[in-house]
Structure formats: C-alpha cells, structure tokens
Amino acid sequence: MIVAERKPFAEIKESIKDYRKVLILGCGTCVSVCMAGGEKEVGLLATELRMNAQLEKRDIEIKEATIQRQCDKEYIEPILEQARASDAVLSLGCGAGVQLVAEMMEATPTIPGLNTRFIGITEAEGAWSERCRACGDCVLANFGGICPVARCSKGLINGPCGGNNGGKCEAGGERDCAWELIYHRLKKQGKLANLRKTIAPRNYSVNAHPSRQVNEAYQTPEKAGAKS
C-alpha cells in the first residue's frame, strides 16, 4: 500500500491562510489504513483548524468529506459540487490523489495535507516499512522475494557492498542489511547459487516518467498494433 504521513500543522495552516472556505477531503483506502488521511483523520484535522481559528480570531469555514479513493474519477465526481463551493480543497490523499482532484477541478486550488512516503507493508500495529520502489523492472525472483532496490540503502542489485556491521547497514540507524537478509533467505531455499549470478543493469526505460499502463482488454486494435 501507499504509506503517507500528515504534514506539520503549521505548514498546513500556512497553506490555507488565504482561503475562507476550505474542504478537507479524505481518502478511504491506503492513507486510511496508515492512519494519515481517512475519515477519522479528516475529523481530527478539521477540529484542530477550527480551534486554532477561534484562538486567532480568524474567519474560516471548514467542511469535511471522505471518499473511497481519490485516485479514481468515479469517486471524485459525486463531491465535485461541494468541492467547487469551497475556496480550496485540502486533500488528505496520496500525491496521485491530490493531482487527480486538482485535475478535475482546475479552477479550485487543491492543497496536499500529506507527504507521500513509500509503497510498503504493515509491519506491526501503527508501523509500516518500505518494500517496493515501483521500479518497473522487478528482480524479486533472483533474491528470494527481498528487494535490494528498496531495502538496500544504496539500491545495489549486485551486492553486498562490504559495509555490513553486525547485520545492520553502515548507513546508520537500525536498518537491516538487505544483502544479509537475502543471503539467509536464499540459503533456506537452497538457492545460494543465485548470488553468483551477475544481474544486468536495471532497465530504466521501463520506469520513464510519467508512466502509463493500459490493460490489454481495453486497448484499441490501432494501439495494440503500434505497441507490437
């Protein structure tokens, strides 16, 4: 899932200071799971902003709404009228959601309330860790299902680098050395020979930005022919 965290309150307050009517728009999928942008978080932020406005004697109207996904037009369309009645939308969606909302209501400013961090997993209650960089050139089959691109601090695909210190990365903190994890995983699978193979340099062309993908079932004959 996409993991995000709320921006500092001072930054959010500064970003909406020029608007009198603000709609806080939450997203009920990824950022809801990581407790950053769901209905509950929308309510908490709205309360903080209202209380702060009272203390500072500022005239601001805060509305709230949460949709299932901000990255799909069909979920945004029902709230467009409400959003356009506001001076600005404060989106608690990931970066993709913010951009689609902004695209669908170009005349109304859409402001991000979150910082999108990474694609990850739920490690424990209230904790998430990065597992994927969405690089478009997956090498997980070679490394026992452990991604060196996302989990090695240096992104090495032909490692290790020699900076392992007690199983931890020399980059500091409590980061596990990805290549030690890969070694032990491959040893359990009887596939240590994989480490003797040299992996070809990453194919960066498959990750050229902005990326786009169309399911084969929805491709027109003309586009399918051009691709082939």
Q: Is the pLDDT of residue 82 over 60?
A: yes
Residue 223, pLDDT score: 58
pLDDT band, residue 149 (cuts 50/70/90): very high
**Cβ(74)–Cβ(7) below 8 Å:** no
Structure pTM? 0.86
Residue 226, pLDDT score: 55
Alpha-carbon separation of residue 30 from 43, 72, 73, 124 (angstroms): 17, 13, 16, 16
Q: Is the pLDDT of residue 30 over 60?
A: yes
pLDDT per residue as tens digits for the range 37-47: 999 999 999 99
Quote the CA–CA distance of 174 and 171 in Å, as a whole number.
Answer: 9
In the chain, what are the domain boundaries?
2-118, 134-200
Quote the CA–CA distance of 29 and 92 in Å, as a whole number.
Answer: 11
Residue 211, pLDDT score: 78
Q: Is the pLDDT of residue 227 over 70?
A: no
DSSP codes joined into one string, 17-34 = TT-SEEEEEEESSHHHHT
Which top CATH class is 2-118? alpha beta
pLDDT per residue as tens digits for the range 190-226: 999 999 999 988 877 877 778 788 888 888 776 555 5
